[in-house]
Structure formats: structure tokens, C-alpha cells
Copies of this chain bind each other. A is one copy, B any other.
């Protein structure tokens, strides 16, 4: 239940965002959304055409939020290694998983091009942005020439996404932290000698 100071559509969107994160698209029913939002059925169908419409709005907002947070880590001043490190070590609710990445395992999301698009674009953007930071670092001589920006960027994003999987399986954030630690020591080997 949300504050009465939020409008009904706003409460519906926020409740959908939470449920998509917790239970995915397949596991989230309109009824559950309505109950969490404290809104009736008529209300939901007045503001949105149905479950897909509401989900699309929710996913887009979550995607934008993720871009903003990741972007602020990667745009920060400082060296390339430290910016990647900041992205990897940023505060996370590890056991909840990634609200965007988890949608890739949802068959109904992947089957709908509209729902799928923001998921694809967000992870693609993230990989691209990381590759830019790494390339910049290499050109500035912070990294050795052997560092290939695109594959390493994919490895960084994959480590985070897979870290969530390991953490959720274990019921503990430890494997996530361990995977990130491992990646950072590997990456540190490519720092050019000062």
C-alpha cells in the first residue's frame, strides 16, 4: 500500500514494478497489482489497457532508473579502473536480483517485442558504456594494450548478472561479492605499471 499522496496510476505503476521484480511477469497477476496499489479493478482498466500496458510502463521506468544509477558510477571523475570498480561495488539489494536482468528469463516478456525492447536496450547500453570507459582507459595508458574493451565489458556485466544468480541460489550476498572481487583482481592485472 502506497501513500495517499500518490495518484492512482502512480501507485499502480510502482506496485507493478515491485511485483515484476519479486515475481516476474508470468508470476504477477492484475489482482495482485491492484491489491498492492490499493486500487480497484475498474481503476486499473481505466488508466491502462491491461497487464501488458502497465508492465511496459513499469519496465520502462525501471530501465531508466538503472541507466541513471549505472551512468552516475561510470561518468564519475577519476580513472577508468576506478569507475568500473565503482560500478561493480555500488550498493545493491543483491538478494532481490536485477529488476531488468531477471526479465530475460520470463517467457512472456521475451515473446513480446515491446516488452523485450527496453530490457535488450538497457543491457546493451550498459555494455557499450562500459566498453567506452575501458577504451578510454586504454588510450590514456591506464590499461595495457592487451585489454579488449568489448569482451571485457561483456564480462563485467555478465559477472554482475551471474552474481545475482549465485547469491539468490545461496541465499546470501557472499557469492556475488566473491565474484566481483575475483573480477577486480583479474582486471587489476591489466593496469599499466606506474
Contact = CB atoms under 8 A, between A and B. Distances in A.
Contacts of A127: 166, 175
A151 to B, nearest CB: 3
Contacts of A22: 107
Contacts of A102: 105
A102 B146 CA distance: 34
Interface string A147-169: 11011111111111111111011
State how many copies of this chain the complex holds.
2
Contact of A169 (B119, B155, B171): B119
A82 interface: no
Interface stretch (A44-52, A70-78, A181-189): A181-189
A127 B172 CA distance: 15
A101 interface: yes
B189 A124 contact: no
A151 B189 CA distance: 15
12 contacts: A24-B107, A101-B165, A101-B169, A104-B169, A105-B165, A105-B168, A148-B185, A150-B178, A153-B182, A154-B175, A157-B166, A158-B160
